[in-house]
């Protein structure tokens, strides 16, 4: 993989922080088309289930974002469901990183 842009490294760091802060299985962060960032973590309530990426996208949309530039998910899973990102930008890169922040 090519060297990451500092702004992409930032969203990976934000995703790691969201995961670490909550102890959730996953943390995620997105950057909107204005350069604003939003983070989220896995939500597993009896009445509401969201992946970390869905939570981050929901936070962005709730704040008025109408498009995304990039997303990052910190997880130990082998893949991520990026459908929520694709709803706002089919071409946005979605970085999957391990808990140490290494992009996989």
- Global confidence as pTM: 0.94
Cα dihedral 74/91/38/42 (nearest 10): -40
Cβ atoms of 43 and 49 closer than 8 Å? yes
pLDDT tens by residue, 45-96: 999 999 999 999 999 999 999 999 999 999 999 999 999 999 999 999 999 9
Sketch out the chain's domains with CATH numbers: 6-97 (3.40.140.10)
pLDDT band at 2 (very low <50, low <70, confident <90, very high): low
Nearest-CA neighbor of 42 among 1, 80, 6? 80
């Amino acid at each position: 993989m090519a060297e990451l842009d500092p702004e992409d490294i930032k969203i990976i760091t934000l995703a790691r922080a969201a995961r670490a802060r909550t102890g959730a299985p996953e943390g995620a962060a997105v950057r909107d088309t204005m350069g604003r960032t939003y983070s989220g973590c896995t939500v597993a309530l009896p009445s509401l289930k969201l992946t970390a990426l869905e939570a981050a996208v929901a936070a962005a949309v709730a704040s008025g974002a109408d498009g995304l530039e990039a997303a990052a998910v910190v997880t130990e899973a082998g893949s991520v469901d990026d459908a929520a990102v694709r709803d706002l930008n089919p071409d946005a890169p979605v970085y999957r990183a391990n808990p140490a922040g290494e992009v996989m």
